Structure formats: structure tokens, C-alpha cells
Structure 1
Amino acid sequence: MTWRMPAESAPHERTWMAFPCEGPTLGETAQAAEECYRAWTAVARTIAEFEPVTMVADPRETSRARDLLGSDVTILEAPLDEFWMRDVGPTFVLDADRPGVLGAVDWIFNGWGDHEWSQWHKSAGMARIVAEASGAELISSLLVNEGGGIHVDGAGTVLLTETVQLDPRRNPYADRARVEAELARTIGATHFIWLPRGLTRDYEQFGTNGHVDIVAGMPAPGRVLLHHQPDPDHPDHDVTRDLRTFLAQQTDAAGRPLEIIDVPAPECLTDAEGFVDWSYLNHLVVNDGIVVCGFGEEKADARAREILQQAYPGRRAVTVDSRAIFERGGGIHCITQQQPALLPTALPTGVAR
């Protein structure tokens, strides 16, 4: 069998999410918790305008989830602690040799490196729960990895970061060759672009140590969307400049030089914790649409929608205020996981479609 992870822009069966529950991500006050519930709910309801959504809810939160989401979203009850579905859930793949088969890669999840603050033991089993519910064939992996740590073009190229998969808190005995061999086996990657690092805030206490899905993505083979911080007072100005220089020297799986599309950051530079990592790269592509992070900056948000609509022709971009999500360490892409539609089954010769 040959597993392959489709591009995010390929047709979806549905999107998976996980509903907030008590823990570090929810917040310490009632107001913070309500902000978290509202943010996750707004994202789910927006996605549901384009495609089905299944929300996994901890038994303690099932009633609240049903009240907030109504009939727009399917609820699946299962134990949770962390609820960043991109990272705790499976990465879905397809098998070109068996068109009717869906696969679900079960990475090891250890709370982004088993930090003292991370609560992850319940959600470490989420991939198996989602795989069973979706009817997917489980693909077990010994690689500690998260869905936010990889981004593919659907044609063999994968973006990843040296400080994530090679993080000694995740994979202390891994090297590039071992990681690449596992990604070839599980998601069908044939060409690997190792970014040297991610955004500055992602290396602070509650960061992921460099997830790629907040800094770069591939809307199509040979094209890269890149976070651009134009303000020299922000440390990511130098980071994104250096990443642009690096990517300009890379090719995709077909040997094509990469066309780099800059996606400027919002104007806001700091919050109460320091320099922000607000990024429009952490969007989700859905059927006929793009769900884009918004930051309350009308001009910057509109510019991002325009750039992304050009990068994904034929899709309508919709902004959802994501400041409450970013305060907790991620964005819209981080809290979602797309399930690709199955490949069409070949018909016998002479049978009309």
C-alpha cells in the first residue's frame, strides 16, 4: 500500500475539532473560559457553512457543546484534556492503490515535548478514537509529531522544522534520515524542506518549538505562502527575512524553484506577554472556502483575505476573530483537522459514470 497525504485544498469529507475543557488552555477565570468557548464555537460554525464538522467533547462539556453548537455540528463524546485537534488527532491519508480506503496516522503526542504545564495523557489517545469514528485504517507511528508540525503540497513535498521533529524532548534518538523515512512511510512524502526554525514566540514557555503551520504553507506544488513581518522592531522581521532567503534556494518534489508569496502580519506587535505571533498562515482551507484568522485590524485582515483568495482560486475567504485562540498558543489551523474525501473508485470498463 502507498499512503499519501492530500493537499489541504483537496476535497474534504469533513473537519474535526475538539471542544474546550478544563485545563491550562481554557484559562483560569470564568471570563477566560467563556472567551475560549466562544472562539472555538465561532470557528466551528463558520466551517459548517462549507462542510460537515464533528466536534469531540469531553463528557464534562457535552451539554455545553450541544447548547453552543446546536444542530450545525455533530458531537462525539470522548475523554479530553488538551483540545488542539491538529496536534492531538490523526493525520488523514489516502491509499492510491485502494481508492475506497481512508488512513489515519497515529503520531505519538507528548504535549509538545512533555512540558511541566502540558496535560496530554487523555488526548494522546485521540487519534485512535477519531480513526474508529471515521472508519479509517489506523497507521501507528513511533514518531513524536503533531499535525501542526508538517505541511504538504499533495505532490510529495513536505515542509517541516528542524526544531520540532528533531526536538530532543520529542524524539531524542531521531535524525533527519529516520524522520524522513517515517514520513515517507506514513504520508507519502518524497521531498523534505527542513525550515531551520519557526516564529519567535513559538519558542517561549507555551510554544510548540517551531510549528510550520504558523509560518509557511504550500497552496499548490511549487508555491509557498510565507509569513512576513515587515516591522524591524519585531524579532520575526529577521526570522521571516532569513526564511525567505532559505526558501528561495529550495525546490519542490518535481524540482521546480519555489514561488514565494508573502503574507504580511497585522500591525500589532505586542500584547501583555510580549511580541505576538499573529499570523494569517494559520488558516484552514475548506470546501469552496478559506477560514482565515482575524485580529481586529480591518485593512490587514482584508489584505490577507485577498492574498489567500488569489492563492486558492475559486474559494471564498471568511475571517474569524482569532485573538483568543492565539492567546492560548495557536490559531484556526491548530484547532482543526481536515478529513479528505475518498478517492473515486474505478468503474469497470464500459460502465458510464
Structure 2
Amino acid sequence: MTFRMPAEWDPHERTWMAWPGPNPTFTDAGELAGARAAWASVARAVRRFEPVTVVHGPGQGDSARELLGPDIDLVERELDDAWMRDIGPTFVKDAEGRLAAVDWVFNGWGGQDWARWEHDSKIARHVADLAGVPVLSSPLVNEGGAIHVDGEGTVLLTDTVQLGSGRNPDWSREQVEAEIHAKLGTSKAIWLPHGLAGDYGMYGTQGHVDIVAAFAGPGRVVVHSQQNPAHPDHARSQLYVDILRGQTDARGRALEVVEVPAPTVLRDEDGDWVDYSYINHYLCNGGVVLCGFDDPNDEIAAGIFRRLFPERTVTLVDARAIFAGGGGIHCITQQQPRATAR
């Protein structure tokens, strides 16, 4: 049976998230409180457009309910961390519109020494069970933030993730592509060599594509554009633009590349390069939930997304506390497409 991962702009049944709990990502009470407030802001923004289910750890339900409010569904399961894009399943549909869930191997973003994944490695199956859909197991170490599809046969990948030594050291490029295509129903992979510079720090993913580039419609891709030459991502983002402008999608269309200027801030409070990016947005039914940084470029980015998605409401949510933990809005959300057959 053939399955296909729908584009993110296709209709959703609901959005899945996970609730931050005490863990190595949020090392003190202040960081955890800030993360919870940010996660809750995203959940409430998404809930304006579609149902949201938040998975929380044992004993964390009261804190979740207090911040999330009464109209978001809560489910208790053992958790290690809170990045549902990566630990949750990738939902796919068969030719008749029935859902299934791909369960990639999750190993803490390449077995990083700070990460724990005893429980998170099982969340994809828990979510699939809660959604009432069958599981498609994959032997590939992969995460949801490491792929982006157009729903028409094309997938974006990065060398340092799927081919990285901490994930799939014995896999060839051809083997990775074959497994990705088999599970997602894609036929063409476009590879970028790496992710943003800041994504290789302590809590980084080692190059997730969903902070670099994302499809924004058939034949169209948005790309992070760091316009300040002082930042190491200036050269990186120009490389991504050049690569993508030279590519066609699975249907032979030349890609239209839309550059989205990065926020003006270059370093965080510790003096490290930031990987703040508007590319790490989330599309939900009738909405675009966009990372905000209290930055002059927030409204520029919002304007770009309003032009790209004129039928959707663009909502900016402050994502700085999320980025401090190693990701953005796309990283903490996972869409369940709407089934068209039962």
C-alpha cells in the first residue's frame, strides 16, 4: 500500500503538542516557567483555528491546564522533553484518504550527551494509538523537523541530519532517499548541506531543515535570509538560495524562492550566534502561527506570509523562550491531517 505525506497547508484534523516538564533542556524553574508560557501561547494561537491535544507528563496536568485553558485536550503519558515535531509521528495518507503514522527511530537528535529519550522514543506510537491510526515503523533515525514536503512528491533534507554520524552512519544517500520516499510517498529529495550555524550548539538539532527552508505552496519555497555579513549564516543562507534556485520539484517546476529576512538581532544574552528564523512557522486551518522576536523584522516577515497565504490569518507569537531551548514554533507542533476516508 502506498502512503503520502500531505503538505502542511492541507486540512488538519488537529494539532499535537507536548508539555514542557523538568528536564535538561530547561534547567531551572525560571526557564521552565518561560517555556511553559511560550508553549501555551502557541497552543492557544493554534486553537483559534483547529483542535489541539497536548501530551503532558505524570503530575504535570494541573500546570498545563492552568496555562492552556479549558478548550485544549490534555493526555498524560511519560515524557522526556517537549518537541512534538521530532518525537511525534509523521502522519501520512493512503490513496483512499485513510491515515497512518510513520514512527521514525528517535535517539535524542543524534545521541547528544545531554538528551534523554527513553520515553520520547515511544511517543509516536502513543500518539498514533490516541489518533486511532496504524503505525508504519521505519528503521531510519529521523525527526519531523528534519523533513519538509510539498505534498506533490518533493522533500527537503540536510546532509548533517539524515547522513550524520550520530543518526545513520551506515546509510548511503541512496538508502536514505529510498526509505524517505517509501514512507512519505515522495520521489525527489533536495539536499541542503547543513543547517544554520546556531543549530550546532548545545541544544541544536545538528541541521534541521525546517528552520532553513520550507515549502509554501506547489513550486514555492521560503528560505531564511541572514542579510548581515557579520553573522555566519549570511554565507549559509545565500548558499541555500543558490541551491534551491537551481532546483526543480518532483513535477519538474523550477522552484520560486522567497527570501525571508532574518531578525536583526545577531547574538543572544550569552554572546552566541542566534538561529532566530521566521521559517520555523506552523500552518494550521486558516492560520499561520509565526515566530516573533520583538524585532523590527517581525512585521516584515508577517507581511511576506500574508502575501503568500492571503486566505489565512497570520499570528505572531514570541518564540524567544522556545529558541532558547533549541527550536521554534514548528518544532513544538505536529499536524494530524484530516482523513478523507474512514
Partner of 1:227: 224
CA distance in 2, matches of 1:55, 1:43: 11
Partner of 1:16: 16
Partner of 1:31: 30
The letter for the 2-side match of 1:70 is G
How many residue pairs get aligned? The number is 341
CA distance in 2, matches of 1:179, 1:215: 20
CA distance in 2, matches of 1:34, 1:257: 45
The letter for the 2-side match of 1:194 is W
CA distance in 2, matches of 1:137, 1:312: 32
| CA deviation after TM superposition for structure 1 residue 272, in Å | 2.6
CA distance in 2, matches of 1:148, 1:28: 23
Give SS of 1:271's match.
coil
1:151 equivalenced with 2:145 (yes/no) = no
| CA deviation after TM superposition for structure 1 residue 70, in Å | 2.1
| CA deviation after TM superposition for structure 1 residue 312, in Å | 2.0
1:76 equivalenced with 2:75 (yes/no) = yes
Give SS of 1:72's match.
coil
CA distance in 2, matches of 1:150, 1:296: 28
Partner of 2:45: 46
Give SS of 1:40's match.
helix
Give SS of 1:71's match.
coil
| CA deviation after TM superposition for structure 1 residue 65, in Å | 1.0
Any idea what the Cα deviations from partners look like across 1:52-92, whole Å, max 9, x if unmatched? Answer: 00000001211211222121210011000111000000000
Partner of 1:350: none
- 1:220-259 alignment runs, 5 A limit: 220-259=217-256
RMSD (Å) for aligned C-alpha atoms:
1.0
The TM-score normalised by the length of structure 2 is 0.98
Structure 1 runs of 4+ with >4 Å offset: none
1:185 equivalenced with 2:177 (yes/no) = no
Any idea what the Cα deviations from partners look like across 1:124-182, whole Å, max 9, x if unmatched? Answer: 00000000000111000000000000000000000010110001110111111111111
Any idea what the Cα deviations from partners look like across 1:265-297, whole Å, max 9, x if unmatched? Answer: 111000134110000000000000100000012
Any idea what the Cα deviations from partners look like across 1:183-215, whole Å, max 9, x if unmatched? Answer: 111110111101111100112222111100001
Partner of 2:263: 266
1:320 equivalenced with 2:317 (yes/no) = yes
CA distance in 1, matches of 2:183, 2:45: 31
| CA deviation after TM superposition for structure 1 residue 313, in Å | 2.8
Give SS of 1:217's match.
strand
CA distance in 1, matches of 2:256, 2:67: 42
The letter for the 2-side match of 1:323 is R
| CA deviation after TM superposition for structure 1 residue 331, in Å | 0.2
- 1:35-114 alignment runs, 5 A limit: 35-96=34-95, 98-99=96-97, 101-114=98-111
The letter for the 2-side match of 1:142 is P
CA distance in 1, matches of 2:274, 2:69: 33
1:333 equivalenced with 2:330 (yes/no) = yes
CA distance in 2, matches of 1:49, 1:4: 27
CA distance in 2, matches of 1:211, 1:202: 8
| CA deviation after TM superposition for structure 1 residue 344, in Å | 5.2
5+ long unaligned stretches in structure 2 = none
CA distance in 2, matches of 1:315, 1:232: 33
Partner of 1:276: 274
The letter for the 1-side match of 2:60 is E
Identity %: 52
Partner of 1:306: 303
5+ long unaligned stretches in structure 1 = 346-353
CA distance in 2, matches of 1:202, 1:68: 29
| CA deviation after TM superposition for structure 1 residue 226, in Å | 0.3
1:117 equivalenced with 2:114 (yes/no) = yes
